Structure 1
Amino acid sequence: MVVAPEFRVFIGNMVTGKITADLPAASQSWGMRLNGAGSLDLTTRALSEDLRNKDLRNATATKKNYLAVAYGNTILEAGPIWKRDYDARTGVLKLGAAGLWSFLDKVKALNWAQITAGTEVTRTSLDLTGLSRGSIAREIVRLSIFGNPNNPGLPIVLPPLETGTHDRHYKGYTLPWVGDLLRKLTAVDNGPDIAFRPRYDGADPTRIEWVMTHGSEAEPLLYQAGDDWTWDGSTEESGVSDIGTKEDGSGMADRVWQPGAGSELAMKLATAQDLDLIRYAGYPWTEADAASKDVEDAAILQSHADAAMAAARRPVETWDMTVRADTSPVLGKYSPGDFAHINVPKGNPMIEAGNRRVRIMAIDGDNTQTVKLTPAPMPSGV
């Protein structure tokens, strides 16, 4: 398979961000995700002329190093190498990596100032008050990574601190993970999107850094600053093909139960319901659980229940669509979370023809000019 010349695959050190080598790709795949880690996979020939003088054993060491894929001047995804597979018979080396969020799934969110002062971990508490939800996420990252005296840090660029009306209290005895706490912040009603977007360091392009961004209180979603992107599936020149759809109604519910912290009679409980489909559309009654067993605050628990109910009102519908990387809008311009208009051609038995507004949830590709988009259509009447 021929690699499109616009792609660059390289590796570097997680702690410093320093780029250590470019890798020739026999094959590659990559993905970008909203509020999560994208995936990166590379197959290269370890004994090739280009890599003969490279210390591949150290340069691709798992956890220590990152794998990155760029298209033009835009780094699509970058993150720690977690898997390495070398076949001595063929000389093929395979690397498996994931975005920075995967690293945060392996770091505890703890109050290291209290721990360093001698407080037992189970008696510590990470108390964040008077902040926006986005800044609560920022402080979780800052205190857990940069506040840990044993942690050498990561090249993460933090956003400005914002005051607000939200509080979070994370007890040490729950031993929470940073990545999990961030996901829970995005999951509450009107919770902010959170992203760690890799880029070349402006002061030193031989290094990369991850820029942490999040939605605001007024606009919790992360999306492009300008107009919606447009893909016209009705014209061949658009580069759009194969618009399919998947629908999953297994999570639909008319009432959601949200258990919180505690057990038996002391268990906290929130609930939310929406009867519109039963009253007006002839649907049967179903229920769902959406546990948050570490949540003690009643208002936060209710916010989780409201968000879960909003998600359960309708089936999960996602499309899959292939587009050309080198056709406008060009790969690297759009990101997960962006809004787009897709003109669906006639003849699709599951999607009504015409212009539909969607939100891009995932972007996947390989070493060709073909890109797979996973858009989620905007909610409409059932």
Structure 2
Amino acid sequence: MTLVPRLFAFETRTGRVITDLPYEGTPKWEAGVTAIGKVEVSIPIDQVGKKELRALIDPWRISLGFARGQQILQAGPIIPAAFSDAPGAATLRVACAGLWRIFYSRHLLNAAWDGVNPAAVSADVNIGPVSLHTIAKRVVSLHLARAQHDLPIDFPADIAGSHNRAYPGYDLASVGERLAELTQVQGGPEIEFRPVWTDTVQRSTVRWTMRIGAPSSDPLRDGRLGRLDYPHAWDYGQALVQLDEDIDGSRQTHHRIERGNGMERALLVGVASDTQYPAAGWPYLEDVGGTHTSATDTATLGSWAAGAISTYRVPTVTWSAVVRMDGTDGQGRATGAPDLGEVEVGNNAMFGVSGHRWIPDGHYPARIVGIKSEGADTARLVLAPLQGAA
């Protein structure tokens, strides 16, 4: 069954759909684990009307969403829009970011703060003891309690834990920055703001679900989003149209120093290392992280350093797979592959490969860490391979 795509405009703060819009070509969209996401589209002016369209192009207040049936592929606020008066078709190019982008334009300050001096104690936000999952939740939910900061977001239930975070108002850090920091510590949660319909029949209202990876005693599941039981499978040459591989050692490191607050002899740092690869013959590689220079807790700095070592002690290998969105072989025949509407970022999947020009034959497990537009009937899955061929 062909699912009709839909571009629509809605109010960012309420989620109320205003109208559907025409578009040219294939809109570009992206969604992913701990990623901002985007929607980019060209709108033909002569099919809408100049007056009506100008009223809708109101950055931040108005959002655009792109949907396929019941699934909203991505949605978020308009930020830039551009029209060129050069000869040719009259089109307006509009770019939207996922909801996470708003949080980089909002300070993390206490709802009880009087709005005058952020150095006041009343501006501080203190969270814990709870899990890192719930710290991430409260970083967002507590700031929504500030006047006129409301957004249509649904949150998961709290999860107990022993973690604490103190966020002084005088740091003037953004909500987005604090969320990103939480995802970078060892065991930190993966996060996605997923747009969904509140009414699957009328499809007239949008909300975002804040998906947060839950803690687990299993290090392979700790903080991870999605189903890890391999609910999906694609086979090369059928619903799997193309499979690419990138190998990048530019950030590989075996010793990480994370810079914190202070200077010279008073500099605070966190340190982590993993010497198993140098011991096996790799050149010893070191680096320094400098994005947390306001941090004063050495344990947290050490956790960031350990998180970097965990991620970059080996080269980063990523695959990307072009798949048919309806799961068929291109001739309408079922292949056992899922429709894209069944797929969530974070899920594990199995990829059967035979006759590929570069990748050896086998069945390869991988996590789907991102999904983006490719063609009118295809999407590109961004993959993190999990191990060798089975």
Q: Which consecutive unaligned segments of at least 5 residues does structure 2 have? A: 217-221, 328-336
* Misfit runs of 4+, over 6 Å: none
Q: For the residues of structure 1 that align with 2:309 and 2:387, how far apart are their CA atoms?
A: 14
Q: For the residues of structure 2 that align with 1:55 and 1:134, how far apart are their CA atoms?
A: 43
Give the alignment's TM-score, normalised by structure 2.
0.89
Q: Trace 1:146-161 onto structure 2 (pairs within 5 A).
A: 146-149=144-147, 151-161=148-158
Aligned twin of 1:296: 296
Q: Which consecutive unaligned segments of at least 5 residues does structure 1 have? A: none
Q: For the residues of structure 2 that align with 1:85 and 1:18, how far apart are their CA atoms?
A: 25
Q: For the residues of structure 1 that align with 2:65 and 2:363, how far apart are their CA atoms?
A: 35
Query: What per-residue deviation string (whole Å, max 9, x for no partner) do you get for residues 76-98 of structure 1?
Result: 11100111112345321111001
Q: 2:303 aligns to what SS in structure 1?
A: helix
Query: Which residue, 232, 252, 266 being the options, matches 2:235?
Result: 232
Report the Cα offset of residue 62 of structure 1: 1.2
Q: For the residues of structure 2 that align with 1:239 and 1:302, how far apart are their CA atoms?
A: 44
Q: 1:225/1:101 Cα in 2 relative to 1: closer, same or farther (>3 Å)?
A: same
Query: Which residue, 18, 30, 37 being the options, matches 1:20?
Result: 18
Report the Cα offset of residue 298 of structure 1: 1.9
Report the Cα offset of residue 159 of structure 1: 2.1
Q: Which moved more, 1:202-211 or 1:171-180?
A: 202-211
Query: Which residue, 1, 4, 7 being the options, matches 2:5?
Result: 7
Q: CA RMSD in A?
A: 2.1
Aligned twin of 1:332: 341
Q: For the residues of structure 2 that align with 1:212 and 1:142, how far apart are their CA atoms?
A: 10
Aligned twin of 1:61: 58
Report the Cα offset of residue 8 of structure 1: 1.1
Q: For the residues of structure 2 that align with 1:170 and 1:197, how far apart are their CA atoms?
A: 26
Report the Cα offset of residue 346 of structure 1: 3.5
Q: 2:46 aligns to what SS in structure 1?
A: coil
Q: Does 1:182 align with 2:188?
A: no
Report the Cα offset of residue 54 of structure 1: 7.0
Q: Does 1:261 align with 2:261?
A: yes
Q: Does 1:354 align with 2:362?
A: yes
Q: For the residues of structure 1 that align with 2:298 and 2:347, how far apart are their CA atoms?
A: 33
Q: For the residues of structure 1 that align with 2:268 and 2:93, how far apart are their CA atoms?
A: 47
Report the Cα offset of residue 171 of structure 1: 1.3
Q: For the residues of structure 2 that align with 1:357 and 1:367, how far apart are their CA atoms?
A: 25
Report the Cα offset of residue 53 of structure 1: 8.8
Give the alignment's TM-score, normalised by structure 1.
0.91
Q: For the residues of structure 1 that align with 2:154 and 2:69, how far apart are their CA atoms?
A: 22
Q: For the residues of structure 1 that align with 2:118 and 2:347, how far apart are their CA atoms?
A: 40
Aligned twin of 1:45: 44
Q: 1:153 aligns to what SS in structure 2?
A: coil
Q: Does 1:163 align with 2:172?
A: no
Aligned twin of 1:94: 93
Report the Cα offset of residue 178 of structure 1: 0.7
The one-letter amino acid of 2:366's match is V
Give the total of aligned pairs: 367
Residues 268 and 296 of structure 2 are in contact (CA less than 8 Å); yes or no, is this contact kept in structure 1? yes
Q: 1:256 aligns to what SS in structure 2?
A: strand
The one-letter amino acid of 2:344's match is S
Q: 1:139 aligns to what SS in structure 2?
A: helix
Residues 373 and 379 of structure 2 are in contact (CA less than 8 Å); yes or no, is this contact kept in structure 1? yes
Residues 232 and 349 of structure 2 are in contact (CA less than 8 Å); yes or no, is this contact kept in structure 1? yes
